[in-house]
Structure 1
Amino acid sequence: MRTQSPAAAPATYPAGPDDGMTAVAAVDLVKVYGSGDTAVRALDGVTVGFARAQFTAIMGPSGSGKSTLMHCLAGLDTATSGRALLGGTDLTTQSDKVLTRVRRERIGFVFQSFNLLPQLTAEQNITLPLDLAGKRAETGLFAHLTDVLGIKDRLSHRPSELSGGQQQRVALARALVSRPEVVFADEPTGNLDSRSGAEVLSFLSSSVRDLGQTIVMVTHDPAAAAYADRVVLLADGKVAGDLDRPSHAEIADALQRLGARR
């Protein structure tokens, strides 16, 4: 196992066209909120790439920029400068209309709060992104996802009739049913008990192996991050380390050393 110290310099991502191996990348990404004396530099020249068919966790102390990085890479927030690349598409140069289409057709999302529409059934929530894009779900993929996630018998139920774990499984199926280039997961186990959280993380990990899915997850939990193939550490808006298949203890130790440096 290769483990890079949080103090070591991370590998950079070449600022070129799609290399076929990188699903999404930041190149010298800067995000500043506010102006003048009250300006906050949430991202300070971040350059990092996320490989296709890999599960990567982004971690760091509170205020490190991890959620801001994910939002910029997903086209949910606008960078101040630099580039956010989805395959060969620079999201920082796209119009709001194009970004809306990219998020709908090329990106999947899983949030802590589930974000299901209460008036729709589980099945309707799962297929909603495809319906909006005027597409139909792949029968085999839909059946696989609902079977593996254990929600086949809950598809006619509305979110209020589902447990928190079941709602998050519906959200997972919705994120993957369109075969997106990347799935961004923002604290996906934050509202779940430990058992449901472990089931969600196991599914995210298996989706990489079984479906070739790319997962980028923001989390504060070392136990959750230990499910990932790779952990990228941020501190003060900069990449501060890169861990390859680390254990829970190694992640916790790296975070502790980051906190001690602040």
Structure 2
Amino acid sequence: MTSAPPLRRGADLRVAARTVGLVKVYGRGEAAVRALDGVDLEIHAGRFTAIMGPSGSGKSTMMHLLAGLDTGSGGSVFLGETELSSLSDKALTTVRRDRIGFVFQSFNLLPQLTAEQNILLPLELAGKQPDRKWFDELVEILGITARLGHRPSELSGGQQQRVAVARALVSRPEVIFADEPTGNLDSKSGHELLDLLRRSVHQFGQTVVMVTHDPVAASYADRVVLLADGKLAGEIYQPTADSVLDALRKLGV
């Protein structure tokens, strides 16, 4: 397996997504909560970025806005050169379907469909034919070739998450967003999943953004972005579990 060169601060890398002065406010008046407060952030293409922070820091809000699942109260979000806040609901739906992949903690597989049907669903909805060579390579790498005819109820949690990863990767999206992807997995399955995400970055050039609270999970990333009180609170390049844990302790976690 090829590995990407080390990612370091100031590296000259293509930007897959970015925010400019991003603000998100929930509620109004005295009850208003400023979840994000003028955040400028760049997500490097072909790299694995983890977003971390204390509870209420804005990390999940950040991911939802970057992925076009929610809209900001101010500032801008870009996917490549496309400003998401300028798009109609229909255009935004198309961007999410065609250019973004998702891996959720709860898998979000349709129970009535087989594993193969779940994987190919985004392409079917987009009216696109799958690249069968890429599909075959993907399911082999993920170790689910023999399980393609099974429905989610017939799969273990780890196998279901592998199907979800295959679904996210099959269309070769510009960015994959993973929201606490190991949250419902045992330790072994969780490490396997993180290794697969890292492999998709370093072997296939995929861009992955993951929200996690787990320092060990974050250590699989090339870069950790820290948030606190809706603002950027630091970055860690080439993180280890210990360096992430130390940074979180300094933020009062």
TM (normalized to structure 2)?
0.95
Contact 2:7 2:222 (C-alpha < 8 Å) held by counterparts? no
Tell me how far 1:62 sits from its aligned partner: 0.2
Structure 1 residue 80: Cα displacement: 0.3
How far apart are the structure 2 equivalents of 1:20 and 1:228? 16
SS at match of 2:252: helix
1:154 lines up with 2:154 in the alignment: no
Aligned to 2:126: 133
Partners of 2:83 and 2:64 in 1: CA distance: 14
Per-residue CA deviations over 1:132-190 (Å, capped at 9, x if unaligned) read 00001111211111001110000000000000000000000000000000000000000
What are the equivalent positions in structure 2 for 1:3-152 lying under 5 Å apart?
A: 21-152=14-145
- What is the CA–CA distance in structure 2 between the aligned matches of 1:75 and 1:3, rounded to whole Å? 28
Task: Specify the code of the residue in structure 2 equivalent to 1:51.
Answer: H
Structure 2: gaps of 5 or more residues: 1-5
| 2:216 aligned with 1:223 | yes
SS in 2 for 1:157: coil
Which residue identity is paired with 1:23?
A
Deviations 1:194-242 (A, max 9, x none): 0000000000001011110000000000000000000000000001001
1:189 counterpart SS class:
coil
Equivalent residues, number: 247
What code does the residue aligned with 1:178 have? S
Unmatched segments (≥5 aa) in structure 1: 5-10, 12-18
Q: CA deviation at 1:259?
A: 1.0
Amino acid at match of 1:88: E
**CA-to-partner distance for each residue in 1:66-92, whole Å, 9 max, x for gaps?**
000000011100100100100000001
Q: Name the SS of the counterpart of 1:259 in structure 2.
A: coil
Distance 1:25 1:111 in 2: 21
Q: Which residue is equivalent to 1:212?
A: 205
Write the letter of the residue equivalent to 1:152. Answer: T
The residue type equivalent to 2:216 in the other structure is A
Amino acid at match of 2:224: V
- The answer on whether the counterparts of 2:7 and 2:223 sit within 8 Å (CA) in structure 1 is no
Q: 2:251 aligns with which of 233, 239, 258?
A: 258
* 1:23/1:50 contact within 8 Å kept: yes
% identity of equivalent residues = 66
What value does the CA root-mean-square deviation take over the aligned residues?
1.6
SS of 1:101 mapped into structure 2: helix
Runs of 4+ deviating beyond 3 Å: 1-4
TM-score normalised according to structure 1 size: 0.92
Cα shift at 1:2: 8.8
1:166 is aligned to: 159
Q: Which residue of 2 aligns with 1:15?
A: none
CA contact (8 A) 1:30 1:80 kept: yes
